[in-house]
Amino acid sequence: MSDIKTICLKAFEDKFGAKPQMQEYAPGRVNIIGEHTDYNGGFVLPCAIKYGTCMVAKENGSNKMRILAVDMNNDYDEFEIAPKIEKHPTKLWVNYLRGVTYQLAQKFGDKVKGLDIAIKGDVPPGAGLSSSASLEVCFGHLVSSAFGLNVPLMDIALMGQAAEAYIGMKCGIMDQAISANGTVDHLVRIDCKSYGLTQVAVPKDLVILIINSNIKHQLVGSEYNDRRESCEKAASIMGVPLLRDATMEMLEKFKDKMDDVTYRRARHVITEDQRVLDASKAFESGDLKTLAKLMYASHVSMRDDFEITVKETDALVEIVKEALGEEYAAVRQTGGGFGGCVVAVVEPKNVQKVKDAVNAKYKAVSGIDATIFETTACAGATFTKL
Ligand code: GLA
């Protein structure tokens, strides 16, 4: 974080010729278990990671947001804060911010004023670690804090989610919710129906490893929305508002009324919800063997029923499983899918074993190297006056 802040400060001064008055930071996330359950009203178990987005800012006395994106080759955009804010025709990065401003302006009108902002992040893009959610939450929390709007963290998350919908991605609430509500040394179980948050301590003797397949996932695409439609279809066939409200018994009862794909999509979500609840317990009691069973089962379910894994992430999971032995292989693909990262929860003594195995075997499958890093569970959005 200190590196991106330093770069941000310098870029701000170069562009706007003044010192910023405030700073905001919001992290990316890794999801330990509970995939594609959020928009079904179910449970997820993510934590905030050590990478995120930093913004430094200053009030500019106008009704314009003037924004410098250091990571986009110092690309710049400005737009008026108005009741209706159009999308930029080509700059995706700023549309996340236009989308959040639109939400804020609708709710708070002219209390939302102009800021000069420089942005820099270090969440690897396209890795399924929520670089866009961290951007939205960072910006929403910055504006709320700058103008004393006191928007509750979960409402900031909802505005980020709405910004994704504005761009065309009908995502759930997980990424924004954890970026806003991350808690040091804790996973946060999110009940995506009630928005209730439960902290689950990460045992001191377990390490969270993230292995990036370096196969980019692109979520603003049809596959994600297509999965969501299948889930909605299954819920409607069973006569429940959300798959969260269905059980495996109900699904079996309605099996004949749905096609095989819809059935398997629903089976993933219903069984995954239960795995999240069980995994929370396993974490609390430091039961790595149970966690391993649940995380691997989650991967298999994503691979065979939800069909969102790719051969490279499947290979990474098998490589880790082989290195640690089945009993201790708490490993699965994480995030929206179609590439991105694998997450593993391992004992410190096994970290090197996993790294060695991945370095030795992954390239033969994928033609490229994987990137591996450890993270602790980190804090959520944080505003600081400079
Ligand atoms: C993406 C979405 C989330 C969630 C995950 C899958 O990260 O933004 O809302 O649906 O995929 O669990």
**pLDDT tens for each residue of 10-45:** 999 999 999 999 999 999 999 999 999 999 999 999
The pLDDT assigned to 219 comes to: 57
Nearest CA to ligand 1 atom 5: 336
Distance 231 CA to ligand 1 centre (A): 14
> Which conformational region is residue 51 in: left (phi greater than 0), alpha (psi within -120 to 50 degrees), or beta?
beta
Measured between alpha carbons, how far is residue 170 from residues 84, 197, 380 in Å?
20, 22, 23
Nearest CA to ligand 1 atom 7: 336
- Atom number, ligand 1, closest to the C-alpha of residue 174: 9
Beta-carbon contacts of residue 173 (< 8 Å; ≥ 6 apart): 38, 39, 157, 158, 161, 190, 192, 195
Q: Whose CA is nearest to atom 11 of ligand 1?
A: 336
Structure tokens at 285: 């009691």
Enumerate residues lining ligand 1, CB below 6 A: 35-36, 38-39, 171-172, 174-175, 219, 335-336
Atom 1 of ligand 1, nearest CA residue: 336
Ligand 1 midpoint to CA 91 (Å): 22
> Nearest CA to 30 among 373, 361, 265, 316?
373
Q: Looking at residues 264-274, what average pLDDT do you find? A: 98
| CB neighbour class for 87 (10 Å; exposed up to 12, middle 13-18, buried from 19) | middle
Put simply, whether the predicted model's pTM sits higher than 0.95 gets the answer yes
Higher pLDDT, 222 or 141: 141
Mean pLDDT, rounded, for 131-138: 97
Measured CA to CA, the distance from residue 209 to residue 163 in angstroms comes to 30
Q: What is the mean pLDDT of the chain?
A: 96
pLDDT exceeds 60 at position 100:
yes
Whole-Å CA distances, 264 to 8, 143, 227, 268, 307:
46, 42, 11, 6, 9
In ligand 1, the atom with minimum distance to the C-alpha of 164 is: 8
Mean pLDDT along residues 208-226: 85
Could you list the beta-strand ranges (E) of the chain.
Answer: 22-31, 43-44, 46-59, 64-69, 75-80, 115-121, 186-191, 196-201, 207-212, 330-334, 341-346, 371-375, 382-385
State yes or no: pLDDT of 169 exceeds 90.
no
For residue 32, the cross-strand partners are none
Rounded to whole angstroms, how far apart are CA atoms 196 and 188?
10
Catalytic residues: 175
pLDDT exceeds cutoff 90 at 220: no
50 three-class SS: strand
**Which ligand 1 atom sits closest to the C-alpha of 36?**
12
Q: What is the pLDDT of residue 125?
A: 85
> Distance from the CA of 246 to the center of ligand 1, in angstroms?
20
> Percent of the chain having pLDDT more than 90?
95
The sign of the dihedral angle between the CA atoms of 121, 337, 36, 188 is negative
C-alpha span between 238 and 240 (Å, rounded) = 6
Residue with tokens 């030795």: 360
Q: Give yes or no for residue 216 having a pLDDT over 90.
A: no
Give pLDDT, residue 372: 98
How many Å apart are CA 105 and CA 144, to the nearest integer? 11
Could you tell me the two tokens for 53? 């987005």
CB burial string 221-258: b at 16+ within 10 A, e below: eeebeebbebbbbbbebbeeebbbbbeeebbeebeeeb
Q: What is the mean pLDDT of residues 148-156?
A: 98
Are 302 and 267 in contact by the 8 Å Cβ rule? The answer is no
In the structure, what pLDDT confidence band is assigned to residue 189 with cuts at 50, 70 and 90? very high
- Which of 171, 226, 269, when mutated, tests ligand 1's pocket best, judged by the most ligand atoms within 8 Å of its CB? 171
Substitution site in 31, 39, 134, 174 for ligand 1 pocket (most atoms within 8 Å of beta carbon): 174
Q: Place 184 in a pLDDT band, splitting at 50, 70 and 90.
A: very high
If DSSP codes are grouped into helix, strand and coil, which group holds residue 258?
coil
Averaged pLDDT, 305-333 = 97
Q: Which atom of ligand 1 is nearest to 224's Cα?
A: 11
Q: How many whole angstroms from 45 Cα to the centroid of ligand 1?
A: 12
For residue 272, count other CB atoms closer than 10 A to its CB: 27
Mean per-residue pLDDT, 323-350: 96
Query: What pLDDT score was predicted for residue 231?
Result: 98
Instruction: Tell me the average pLDDT across 134-163.
Output: 98
Which of ligand 1's atoms lies nearest the C-alpha of 34?
12
Confidence class for position 221, pLDDT limits 50, 70, 90: low
**Residue 118 clears pLDDT 60, i.e. is over it:** yes
pLDDT at 316 over 90: yes
Token pair, residue 268, equals 């993933």
What confidence score (pLDDT) does residue 126 get? Answer: 84
Q: What percent of the chain stands above pLDDT 70?
A: 99
Contact between 270 and 248 (Cβ < 8 Å): yes
Which residue's CA is minimally distant from atom 2 of ligand 1? Answer: 171
Query: In angstroms, what is the span from residue 380 Cα to ligand 1's centroid?
Result: 18
Report how far residue 46's alpha carbon sits from residue 200's, in angstroms, rounded to the nearest whole number.
10
Q: Which residue has the tokens 């279809």?
A: 233
Task: Give the residue among 283, 288, 285, 278 at the shortest CA–CA distance from 350.
Answer: 288
Give the residue whose CA is nearest to atom 3 of ligand 1: 172
Mean pLDDT of 191-218: 94
Helix (H) or strand (E) holding 243: none
Residue 237 has, within 13 A of its CA and on its CB side, a CA count of 19
State the distance from the centre of ligand 1 to the C-alpha of 35, rounded, in angstroms. Answer: 7
**298: pLDDT confidence band, cut at 50, 70 and 90?**
very high
> What mean pLDDT comes out for the span 243-254?
98
| Degrees, nearest 5: CA angle 51-328-364 | 70
